[in-house]
Structure 1
Amino acid sequence: MNEHQVFVGIGSNIEREFHTRAAYQLLHEHFYDVVVSPVYECPALGFNGPGFYNWVAKFNTQQDIVSIYQLFKQLEAEYGRKDWYKKHCSRTMDLDLLCFDQMICQHPVVLPRAEILNRAFVLKPLVDIAPNHVHPETGCTYQQLWQAFDQASQPIKPVAFEWSTPPA
């Protein structure tokens, strides 16, 4: 089986400390070589609601893209998400597949995810863990994209978040 490198964006604005820790534990239970970015706090975009905790994880897996996508939807449901049809609303746990290797596709999910290029809360954590990784469509590194990004337009604040120890 082939090994794949995957990037996932994680967010929560409902019981966000609890759900951030839960997502961290779940990623360590299901994948290996998990690397996580710092956590950032940012305001809700597109609706009135509590601020979000957002972060990005990178991991390796032999699972295919469909299996990972289905697992993320299952985990979101187990943690109370029922609103997949709503674009802008509060979330207990949001697991967004950002990149799967260098794949560019429309199904089962659009990759690379558009938010990489237009959301500070996605791009900055990517820079933190993979500054020299090349975006599949633009050919630019995440560091280059961040340097060109209008950072003042989307302020994000690092959170001093204490991760629990991953399972052995």
Structure 2
Amino acid sequence: MKDVYLSIGTNMGDRYDNLQQAIALLKQEKAIELVRISSVYETAAVGYTDQADFLNIAVHLKTNKSSAEMLQLCQSIEQELGRVREFRWGPRIIDLDILLYNHENIETESLIVPHPRMYERAFVLVPLVEITPTPLGKQLQQAHHELQQLDCEREGVALWKDCNKPLTVN
């Protein structure tokens, strides 16, 4: 089984319900075991800033799916939940990004892992570091290091729902 870390974000509609639905769809996959889900963080938009704040989480899962199969699954969940890609960094009902895939470096036309901007974004690093308190592997160690360099308050990352009250799936 391979370790996979996802970032899931949403800023349209019932944001919390969108996260719950994405997790429920991941749980339905027979080849996926959910290991850990972070607390929910509310974050200011990055890139195109004239939009609602996001709710973001990180998810650690184990799977025997290939990286290409995981990308396809993430995109199918986005499509099922109604994601429309109007413009880069625009509002979205749901966004699933593969951050790390089994400590591998992957570069294809459709997928780059580690995610190319993850080390620059507090809204990705804060939940990721939360679910990886003991960073195993070079990529997670770098994530922990980079988070120490960021000013999370300035970056607009705030705890929205504590992990001690875990994300529930209906």
TM-score by length of 1: 0.87
1:27 aligns with 2:26: yes
- Distance in 2, Cα, partners of 1:147 & 1:46: 22
Distance 1:51 1:135, change over 3 A: farther
- Distance in 2, Cα, partners of 1:151 & 1:114: 19
Q: Is the CA contact (8 Å cut-off) linking 2:106 and 2:113 kept in structure 1?
A: yes
Q: Show CA shifts across 1:90-137 (max 9, x none).
A: 111100000001111211401101232111110011110003325645
Amino acid at match of 1:125: P
Corresponding pairs, count: 162
> Match of 1:151?
152
Amino acid at match of 1:4: K
Give the drift of 1:38: 0.5
- Distance in 1, Cα, partners of 2:97 & 2:20: 16
Q: Is the CA contact (8 Å cut-off) linking 1:41 and 1:52 kept in structure 2?
A: yes
> Match of 2:70?
68
SS at match of 1:44: coil
Q: Is the CA contact (8 Å cut-off) linking 2:118 and 2:125 kept in structure 1?
A: yes
Structure 1: 5+ residue stretches without partners: none
Structure 2: 5+ residue stretches without partners: none
- Distance in 2, Cα, partners of 1:150 & 1:53: 18
SS at match of 2:127: helix
SS at match of 1:57: strand
> Match of 1:105?
106
- Distance in 2, Cα, partners of 1:120 & 1:101: 22
SS at match of 1:140: helix
Q: Is the CA contact (8 Å cut-off) linking 2:58 and 2:128 kept in structure 1?
A: yes
Q: Percent identity?
A: 26
- Distance in 2, Cα, partners of 1:136 & 1:104: 11
SS at match of 2:106: coil
SS at match of 2:83: coil
> Match of 1:122?
124
Q: Show CA shifts across 1:45-69 (max 9, x none).
A: 2221111000100000011111110
> Match of 2:168?
164
TM-score by length of 2: 0.86
SS at match of 1:6: strand
Provide the aligned C-alpha RMSD in A: 2.0
Identify which range, 3-12 or 86-95, moves more after superposition: 86-95
- Distance in 2, Cα, partners of 1:42 & 1:140: 23
